Each structure stands twice: as C-alpha cells, then as structure tokens.
Amino acid sequence: MPGFTYVDNSIFEQVADELVNQMGEYKRAPNQGALGPCFGTVGADVKSVPGLSFVFDGGAKMVFPPTNYFLCDDKVNALCLSLTSRRSNVDLNGGPKIIIGNYLLTDFHLEFDLKRMRLGI
C-alpha cells in the first residue's frame, strides 16, 4: 500500500481511539480496506476535524493539515484516516515504530544532510 503511513499497532490503536473520541459529531462509516477508522461525510463539516502532529525527540513538532491524514472517498461518502497499523505481515525486524508515507508528507519539503546525518522538514 504505497503512500500510507504505517504505525505500530500499539500506537495506532491509541491514535484511532482518540480520533473516534474527538470525532463525536461524525457517524462511523465502514472501514475501507486497510483504512479506518472511517466516518460518514453526508451533512458533516469536513473542515472541523481533530489535528494531528508528530513530536520528535528534541521537541521538534510536525503539524499536518487534515488533507494529509484523512482521505475522502466520495463514492461511499466516507472520510478515512490515512494511517494504517503495522501488522505482523510487515516485519521490520524490530525497526521503526512509524514509517511516514507520502500522503502525510504532501506539501512538505525534506532536506537530507548526509554529512551531519540529519533530516530537515
């Protein structure tokens, strides 16, 4: 599934549960494949959704616009979280807890400093 952000299942469950709590005005919709939780968009103000950000070691914070972490499927009138849990079939041998996909990074500029081993966002 190219493009999606993979999150370790223990982290994903916490994020999804909190999202469901904060999306109280939206009715749940069926999950769409690997995407979920999903919410119905009929009669909803899609602009009023909870924020999402990542806070890195050292205090740097990356704040994402809702269009980066929600995918809207007009065919089924659903708004779905574009993060998906990293289940056992994605084995990274103890690797990272989060793999940031390109949907989440849309309109962000990345700079790789190989000499200093740093990534700028």
pLDDT in tens, 33-85: 888 899 998 766 666 788 999 988 888 899 999 889 998 888 888 999 989 88
Position 41 scores a pLDDT of 81
Report how many domains make up the chain.
1
If one compares 88 and 121, the residue with the highest pLDDT of the two is 121
Per-residue pLDDT band at 88 (split at 50, 70, 90): very low
- Residue range of the domain that includes 18: 5-42+50-120
If one compares 47 and 21, the residue with the highest pLDDT of the two is 21
The CATH number covering residue 56 comes to: 2.40.70.10
Say yes or no to pLDDT of 89 above 60: no
Q: What is the pTM of this model?
A: 0.78
Question: What span, in angstroms and rounded, lies between the C-alpha atoms of 82 and 72?
Answer: 10
N-terminal to C-terminal alpha carbon distance within the chain? 23
Question: What span, in angstroms and rounded, lies between the C-alpha atoms of 115 and 121?
Answer: 17
pLDDT in tens, 93-121: 667 888 888 889 999 988 889 999 888 88
Question: What span, in angstroms and rounded, lies between the C-alpha atoms of 46 and 55?
Answer: 25
Q: What is the chain's percent helix, strand, coil content, to nearest 5?
A: 15, 30, 55
Position 92 scores a pLDDT of 56
String of DSSP letters for 32-81: BTTB-SEEE-TT--TT----EEEE-TTS-EEEE-HHHHEEEETTTTEEEE
